Structure 1
């Protein structure tokens, strides 16, 4: 365990594991009155913070535990099949693409961990945040769905090459789009360099045995294996489709995340209240259930991430997944206890 991960784990353990807490404490707090109910909500948020923080702290170690692939791993099979390709000239470009695929996957994993740590801090803010935890969860589920597709242990090497190429082409093109908007006087070579990188990637993909179709402005539009029956889009699959497939147990997750991320009224307006007295302005109230859903979804994403990565490297990930699952289930039980006690004490959720 790294020093940073150890320090974070010690800090979170000081709060106590969520599944060892006594629900009766929460019930008694809610039944004691409004002030105590506010204290109960803060206790709920501390458990969100605890669970998310522990998953963030252990993620780095979980990934490190699977760093070395086994002989039967899909990772090594990808490499070995590529090294034995009859078309000699395609071998090095494909190995390079598989290496770039691992690189972009690691970037996404670190982005996940970074936002998990941010969520941990969000749950410590007083008064509780209204929208930010859901925004962080949106980033996490998109990144995890991306890693799941790129490192899917159930697909073949050629499909992985296509997925990796599609994601890389989209990323490099977005870099081109961004640099073209920068002032040339300040960044004279930024756009030229970005376009050069994109052109180099296209050449690499074509040398790997793929065809890339570009629009008149140079933007990659479609990709397929040389001589393949059909073209695929760039990327090969929309991120919304990836999220919906990965998190099918969480209906409308992508749409609700978009509602927050793009500041849509239908997701923001439900949190607005008009005060009974005082100045005439809207008051925004956080929802402990929405914040809890953000926490449980983020932890579920980590379960999937660790599972996919572990299996791609040829390991059984179950021992690493169990602590995350326990945290998620414990937070879910605690939310239910909170809701039941509040309903009994106040007649509303």
Structure 2
């Protein structure tokens, strides 16, 4: 049976999830500064304490935290865009799927930076790699701009200088940077035995951090790239289309909460429970006849 208010439900689900995540992220920021005992964040602080260049090392971890904050903003912007697109009477799913893909990418990058189970050395390497990627990422684009546009050559020089400054800063704390000999672009960084690519492969991150919804990365990538196999193959009632876009976003929330809250040592149980309530609402809206299991059982599926 077609649910008459699927668009209203979609708006409510997205709004409630955004409010819950925003509050949780505020708690996470506070916990990053004052982490709980035995949390991975606390272990990072203890690892830094007393080492040479202690302040610079802690600064590198703070760089990672700032990157997470920026990615969270991006994810929320794209989540709001999904809500706006689904609210439209025109029923335009492809842009909504493209925005959902952007949320997916931001989430798995956050998971990569905050993964609770990795060593402090690995986290430091990942933070440094992400930072260098942020600095140098625009250089290839600037190089393609027509002469005179935004003084692109001057911009390239300034960015290259900033990149070199990053190399030198990281060298002081023992981070080795491997760069392309022709372009000067950083390729990966190494700290001890830990190595991190400056441009991690998002497909691999999706498979690692969102394994149950990894197929959605391919589906939404099809929308982003206007692939005919997706465009020509889309069918079904609008309620099913909406749910197929929204339900995976709730799995992204689960992955985000597990990684970020796990890193700073905060409980995830209530966040997961409420997210799953929203998931059940969506399933009921499209008349899902299957068994609506609790969140713990849902997370154990296919394992």
TM-score (norm 2): 0.85
RMSD of aligned C-alpha atoms?
A: 2.3
2:254 to 303, 324, 336: 303
Q: Alpha-carbon deviation of 1:287?
A: 4.5
Q: Alpha-carbon deviation of 1:68?
A: 2.0
Q: Which residues in structure 2 correspond to 1:31-46 (within 5 Å)? A: 40=3, 43-46=5-8
* 1:136 correspondence with 2:102: no
1:118 to 62, 74, 81: 81
Task: Point out where structure 2 has 5 or more consecutive residues left out of the alignment.
Answer: 291-303
Which residue is equivalent to 1:212? 177
* Counterpart Cα distance in 2 of 1:52 and 1:178: 34
1:48 to 3, 6, 10: 10
- Conserved? CA contact 1:46–1:123, under 8 Å: no
* Counterpart Cα distance in 1 of 2:173 and 2:201: 23
- Conserved? CA contact 1:299–1:328, under 8 Å: yes
Q: Alpha-carbon deviation of 1:206?
A: 1.9
Which residue is equivalent to 1:180? 143
* 1:97 correspondence with 2:60: yes
- Conserved? CA contact 1:134–1:260, under 8 Å: yes
Structure 1's consecutive aligned runs of 4 or more residues displaced over 6 angstroms after TM superposition are none
- Conserved? CA contact 1:59–1:113, under 8 Å: no
Which residue is equivalent to 1:160? 123
* 1:83 correspondence with 2:49: yes
- The structure-2 alpha-carbon separation of the partners of 1:296 and 1:117, relative to structure 1 and needing over 3 Å to count, comes to same
* 1:108 correspondence with 2:74: no
TM-score (norm 1): 0.74
What is the CA deviation profile of residues 185-204 of structure 1, one whole-angstrom value per residue up to 9, with x for unaligned ones? 34233111211221112222
Q: Alpha-carbon deviation of 1:338?
A: 9.2
Task: Point out where structure 1 has 5 or more consecutive residues left out of the alignment.
Answer: 1-26, 31-39, 273-284, 340-349
